Amino acid sequence: MSTKIQAIRGMNDILPEKTIFWRVVERKLSDILIGYGYQELRLPLLEKTALFQRVIGEVTDIVEKEMYTFDDRNGESLSLRPEGTAGCVRAMIEHGLLRNTIQKIWYNGAMFRYEKPQKERYRQFHQIGVEVYGLSTADIDAEILLMTARFWQVLGLKDLELQINSLGSSVARATYREKLVEYFSNNLEQLDEDSHRRLHSNPLRILDSKNPDLKTLIENAPQLLDYLDDESKQHFEQLQMFLNDAGLKYTINPRLVRGLDYYNKTVFEWVTTKLGSQGTVCAGGRYDGLVEQLGGSNTPAIGFALGLERLIALLEAEQLFQNTKENQPHIYLMMVGNEALIKGLSLAEQLRNEFPQLKLITHCGGGNFKNQFKKADKSGAKWALILGETELANQQIGFKNLREEQPQQSFSRSDLITHLKSLL
């Protein structure tokens, strides 16, 4: 016997019993996005490694140790995308879509990071992401947050907390960076290996450390909010005013810095306590300098990504997935005998023409009545259509309600269509 090959660690199969939930969630979210004027962008899974190095930052967890990077057959270094913003900005510049215009973009797809697999932390995971280009004012920051709040509301989630912070301008961050280096240098013995390395290359990253031993040290560190430039301060105040006005609750988390280098001004996360330590479901912020840094014109931008695995796990934890009728067939067509099979397949096609939304399962593979009834019942269909010798001889189709006690009826083809019109 040959050995079985298994899936790669941290990469999940999403089985038929679950894909239904995915589809419901994806549809609800994309409907909201479209309702706010966003347009979908579909991007390659692979990009040149240099793109991610430039966008995400050389000294970040992702670029240092989490990318799936390899040389292609021509010796060019490529990476599976670890996030969507880099490819999105690349595409917008490449296709000239950022010239004097506002763009509101969303995408949905798989991302890849070589992380330590654990609950709700995978090596292939899926994000729905949003990016807005061409708006620098805090009104759009607020609208994006209101839209994400609508996501949770439509899905029935009540327990997500919004945390916001401002990273200020790059100039303000430079001043703050010095204070931070000074602070951590005075506490060198408490730093772990990663933080030691980052102390001079990228000290803000230390604040994003997941090492619990550093928690107190990080909590007592100087706060970025105390070093904000006037413009960023004003932007942050305006954002809060808009949110207060709209009645959206939030907390200010002065230690929120996000794991990527490209952010400035507004950053935010939606967090829950219901998923253990993997509590961030949705996260993002402003990245006003990135487009220019990648060779485009000076274009302000803001965006976020939400992790679909975590969102769906949360919906499951809250038991918000019961009773979905999404896949329930309307009709199970039973066909007993060869003659019935021929008539049955053409009947099924006629019904599909007549009712484009119809979910109809034809019983293929033969078998007696009893056996087919069992399958019909198990399918979850509401009604069974029955084609057997008697029905064929009378040019009739049997009709049975599988979910309610009712006498079996019998219809001609055209009467059946009329009857179904009254039901569907």
Rounded to whole angstroms, the Cα distance separating 117 from 109 reads 19
Answer for the pair 117, 9: CB distance below 8 angstroms, yes or no. Answer: yes
Residue whose CB is less far from ligand ATP, 272 or 372 = 272
Residue whose CB is less far from ligand ATP, 284 or 344 = 284
Structure-token pair, residue 33: 């996005």
Rounded to whole angstroms, the Cα distance separating 29 from 304 reads 14
Q: Say which DSSP state 78 is in.
A: E
Residue 125, CB half-sphere, CA atoms under 13 Å: how many?
27
Residue whose CB is less far from ligand ATP, 83 or 261 = 83
Residue whose CB is less far from ligand ATP, 128 or 385 = 128
**Strand ranges across the sheet with 383-387:** 360-362, 331-335, 383-387, 397-401, 409-411
Q: Say which DSSP state 65 is in.
A: I
Answer for the pair 222, 181: CB distance below 8 angstroms, yes or no. Answer: no
Nearest to 116 by CA among 66, 53, 79: 66
Residue whose CB is less far from ligand ATP, 145 or 381 = 145
Residue nearest to ligand ATP (CB): 307
**How near is the Cβ of 95 to ligand ATP at its closest, in Å?**
24
Structure-token pair, residue 126: 């899926």
Chain contacts with ligand ATP (rule: CB under 6 A): 83, 113, 115, 120-122, 125, 127, 259, 278, 280-283, 305, 307, 309-310
Residue whose CB is less far from ligand ATP, 79 or 362 = 79
**How near is the Cβ of 61 to ligand ATP at its closest, in Å?**
7
Answer for the pair 381, 331: CB distance below 8 angstroms, yes or no. Answer: yes
Rounded to whole angstroms, the Cα distance separating 167 from 192 reads 24
**How near is the Cβ of 421 to ligand ATP at its closest, in Å?**
45
**How near is the Cβ of 24 to ligand ATP at its closest, in Å?**
19
Nearest to 331 by CA among 306, 315, 350, 317: 350
Q: Say which DSSP state 118 is in.
A: B
Rounded to whole angstroms, the Cα distance separating 291 from 123 reads 28
- Give the ranges where 247-307 is alpha helix by DSSP (H): 290-293
Residue whose CB is less far from ligand ATP, 305 or 420 = 305
**How near is the Cβ of 305 to ligand ATP at its closest, in Å?**
4
**How near is the Cβ of 371 to ligand ATP at its closest, in Å?**
44
Residue whose CB is less far from ligand ATP, 115 or 229 = 115
**How near is the Cβ of 113 to ligand ATP at its closest, in Å?**
5
**How near is the Cβ of 405 to ligand ATP at its closest, in Å?**
47
Answer for the pair 286, 300: CB distance below 8 angstroms, yes or no. Answer: yes
